[in-house]
Amino acid sequence: MNKLLSASLMCADLTKIEESVVELKNAGIDYLHIDIMDGSFVPNITLGFDFVNAIKSITDVPLDVHMMVNEPSRFIDRMNLGKEDIICVHYESDVHIHRTLAQIKDKGIKAGLAVNPQTAVESFRYLTDYMDMALVMTVSPGFAGQKIFAGAERKTNDTRELLNELGCTEIPIEVDGNISLENGRKLSKCGADIFVLGTSGLFVKDKSIKQASEDFRKVL
Ligand code: DX5
Ligand code: ZN
């Protein structure tokens, strides 16, 4: 499966976001990752639905919306997304997550299912019919600049093994959190396909976005 890069916009320079989006597109970034947080499911509040719609209106780069909010089904209709975009919801955020995944897919948008570090890989087992992507969080979500958790490689590997066992070889695995060059290289070997790049791998001091993305692709 192709290895894809998803740029975490919460780590971009928000004071010149349009410029950053153009620079990301020119650097060949595959997705724009937009983290939505409600201050309750995770102890932070970042980007919102108006931001999603604004970004959607200025670029044709597909959006990868990561909803770290409780009861995400309440908000799916707030975003003007299309068949090339992904909405990723957390297993832990909704007592009827299957219904929410189906709601996303019924709108013709790709549906991703995310799991926090402590949530078992088995959580994916009975939901793969409603999934276009599995998001394995490699940090506890909520903040940029954190350190990858110790079980990230094993968990990524176990997720790939489970999906393959179920015949879901076409469901990609996204990893999100402290995806540095070194962590990206290791996780790629464990079966990761989509890499959320933030302060660890893309928005880094001494490199342009183009240089950082080229360097990252070299290790995959
Ligand atoms: C974490 C966020 C990601 C990412 C940021 O909750 O979802 O955007 O961690 O990138 P890093 O971890 O490299 O700063
Ligand atoms: Zn994210």
The rounded Å distance from CA 114 to ligand 2 centre is: 9
**Residue 140 three-state SS:** coil
The end-to-end CA distance of the chain, in Å, is 12
The pLDDT of residue 1 = 87
Mean pLDDT of 171-196: 98
Which amino acid is located at 213 in the chain?
Answer: S
Percent of the chain with pLDDT over 90: 100
With cut-offs at 50, 70 and 90, classify the pLDDT of residue 89. Answer: very high
Query: Across residues 61-74, what is the average pLDDT?
Result: 98
Instruction: State the average pLDDT over residues 197-213.
Output: 96
Closest to 137 in 3D by CA, of 113, 162, 110, 161: 113
The helix/strand/coil state of 3 is coil
Q: For ligand 1, what atom is nearest to the CA of residue 201? A: 13
Nearest to 88 by CA among 113, 117, 62: 113
Hunting for tokens 């968990």 — which residue is that? 155
DSSP symbol at 148: P
Note the pLDDT of residue 10. Answer: 97
User: Distance, CA 140 to ligand 1 centroid (Å)?
Assistant: 9
- Residue-level pLDDT at 182: 98
DSSP track, 185-205 = HHHHHTT--EEEESTTTTS-T
* Any ligand 1 atom below 6 A from CB of 64: no
Residue 94 has pLDDT above 90, yes or no: yes
Mapped onto helix, strand or coil, the DSSP state of residue 90 is strand
**pLDDT tens digits, one per residue of 153-172:** 999 999 999 999 999 999 99
Q: Which two tokens stand for residue 3?
A: 């290895």
What's the pTM value of the predicted model, to 2 decimals? 0.98
